[in-house]
């Protein structure tokens, strides 16, 4: 499809396990973002990629969280030693925003719902 694709759509894991969440942005979008949304909460910014580099990682909540992007396309968010407070919907978004530009239109994927037992 032409939209942002995320997988898995749902993930249930046990506390202490590692998880990987994948995002395939819209083709040609240089900017990619990870946000997370807990029940009843707003979107919490995690990390932003411009191409393969991440100029802003300030939202990652701890060193258990990491993300990479390869080929200017697919991104993977990894959470190590998951905790119950990591349970949330992890949303990926992409946009055409580049240096000096910001249309503000982020195109979101449907999210990966993570439940840590």
Partner 1 sequence: RKEVEQDPGPFNVPEGATVAFNCTYSNSASQSFFWYRQDCRKEPKLLMSVYSSGNEDGRFTAQLNRASQYISLLIRDSKLSDSATYLCAVDYDRGSTLGRLYFGRGTQLTVWP
Residues found near partner 1 in the complex (CB under 8 A): 31, 33, 35, 40-43, 45, 48, 50, 55-56, 58, 91, 95, 97-102, 104-106, 108-111
CA 111 from centroid of its chain's CA atoms: 8
Tokens 């030693």 belong to 81
User: Considering beta carbons, is residue 18 or 56 the nearer one to partner 1?
Assistant: 56
Q: Which residues pair with 52 in a beta bridge?
A: none
Name the minimum Å distance from CB 16 to partner 1.
28
User: Considering beta carbons, is residue 13 or 45 the nearer one to partner 1?
Assistant: 45
User: Considering beta carbons, is residue 56 or 68 the nearer one to partner 1?
Assistant: 56
User: Considering beta carbons, is residue 80 or 113 the nearer one to partner 1?
Assistant: 113
Name the minimum Å distance from CB 116 to partner 1.
19
Going along 2-117, which residue ranges are E strands? 5-7, 10-13, 19-24, 31-37, 43-50, 53-56, 65-69, 75-79, 88-95, 107-108, 112-116
SS3 86: helix
């Amino acid at each position: 499809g032409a939209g942002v694709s995320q997988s898995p759509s749902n993930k249930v894991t046990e506390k202490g396990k590692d998880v990987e969440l994948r995002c395939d942005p819209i083709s040609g979008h240089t900017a990619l973002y990870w946000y997370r949304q807990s029940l009843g909460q707003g979107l919490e910014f995690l990390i932003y990629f411009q191409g393969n580099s991440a100029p802003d990682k300030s939202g990652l909540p701890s060193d258990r969280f990491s993300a990479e992007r390869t080929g200017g396309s697919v991104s993977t968010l990894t959470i190590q030693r998951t905790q119950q407070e990591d349970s949330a919907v992890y949303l990926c978004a992409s946009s055409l925003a580049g240096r000096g530009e910001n249309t503000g239109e982020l195109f979101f994927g449907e999210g990966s719902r993570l439940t840590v037992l």
